[in-house]
Amino acid sequence: MKKALKIIGIILIIIIVAISSIFIYDRATINNQYKIGEKNLLIPIIIYHDIVESKDEIQFDYMQTTFDTFKEQINGLIKYGYKPITYKDLIEYSKGEKAINKKSFIITFDDGYDGVYNYAYPFAVENNIPITSFLINNDVGTEGYYTWDEAREMDKSGFVSIYSHSMKHDDYDKYKPEDLLEDVNTSLSQIEEELGHSIEKVFTYPCGLYSEEGRKLLEENGIVQNFTDSKINQSNKLNIYGLHRMYALEDPAWKIILKIEYRHFRYGG
């Protein structure tokens, strides 16, 4: 019995030492930057929709996030060493043109709700944090959505990148590939016209619905594409024409990190 307890004690000590070593190494290298191919990085892309003031305004937890929860999640991730980056950063990284931080992540908002302008945008400016908003062209300026003037203001700040979430938020998995391409190109062109400058070709599928034929055609036309599948991007398998994204929901930062690691092992990127 004593021998068995001694063996268990030794095993526990080894486990504690191993975990401590991993933690110490992680903290020591937290600010390291890598180019693609140098280290297999996990690059989560987090999805939000609307930011609201109070929990009373939440009808669906995947659609509305309170401002306090949003702040706590982003500040928490940054405290744990995560660095927000832009799609421009990710595209340049994928081409081998830029190094990114060991723990990089992207903050995204779908649909173009006015909560992005009212809450996320001021927070981004105040804290020097880049965020991305995917707008639905036909909804811009309608009730509950920010206007083109507000889009231009956010764009000019340098902290908000604005890209396409389609012209009308339809089921694009049912579209012919050429019709999908026309919709996305029209959306991106209008955004460029309204903002007054060219933008990266980045598109997010409404509801995550897509066909492989449509995805391939957009890839052939150089359009970066985002899914909604809760998987995590791995740099050694990085495909900017089929990027994975995950919901933060109401999870604290430590739980988001656990989900990143779990989904890494479950899905393998």
Phi/psi of residue 116, nearest 5 degrees: -65, -45
How far, in Å, CA of 137 to CA of 168, rounded?
7
What pLDDT score does 139 carry?
98
What's the pLDDT at 142?
98
209 CB neighbour count, 10 Å cutoff: 15
pLDDT digits (tens, 9 = 90+) for 151-173: 999 999 999 999 999 999 999 99
> Is residue 185 within 8 Å of residue 145, measured between CB atoms?
no
Alpha-carbon gap, residue 164 to 184, rounded angstroms = 7
Q: Where are the domains of the chain?
A: 1-30, 42-267
Q: What fold characterizes domain 42-267? A: TIM Barrel (3.20.20)
Find, among 109, 97, 100, 224, the residue nearest to 159 by Cα: 109
Question: In the structure, what pLDDT confidence band is assigned to residue 267 with cuts at 50, 70 and 90?
Answer: confident
CA–CA dist 87, 108 (Å, integer) = 10
- The mean pLDDT of the chain is 92
| Sequence-ordered alpha helix ranges (H) in the chain | 2-28, 67-79, 87-94, 114-115, 121-127, 148-157, 177-195, 212-220, 253-267
**Distance from the Cα of residue 160 to its chain's centroid:** 13
User: What's the whole-number mean pLDDT along residues 130-150?
Assistant: 98
pTM of the model: 0.90
The Cα 228–Cα 106 span in angstroms is 14
In the chain, % of residues over pLDDT 70 = 89
**Digit-coded pLDDT (tens) for 18-48:** 444 444 555 567 789 999 999 999 999 999 9
Residue 143, token pair as written in the block: 């009730």
Give the Cα separation of 133 and 163 in Å (integer).
6
What is the pLDDT, as a whole number, of residue 2? 64
Nearest CA to 259 among 73, 55, 67? 73
Encoded tokens for 54: 């109070």
* pLDDT at 19 (0 to 100): 41
Q: Tens digits of per-residue pLDDT, 199-219?
A: 999 999 999 999 999 999 999
CA 104 vs. chain centroid, Å, equals 10
**What is the SS3 assignment for 163?**
strand
* DSSP one-letter code for 119: I
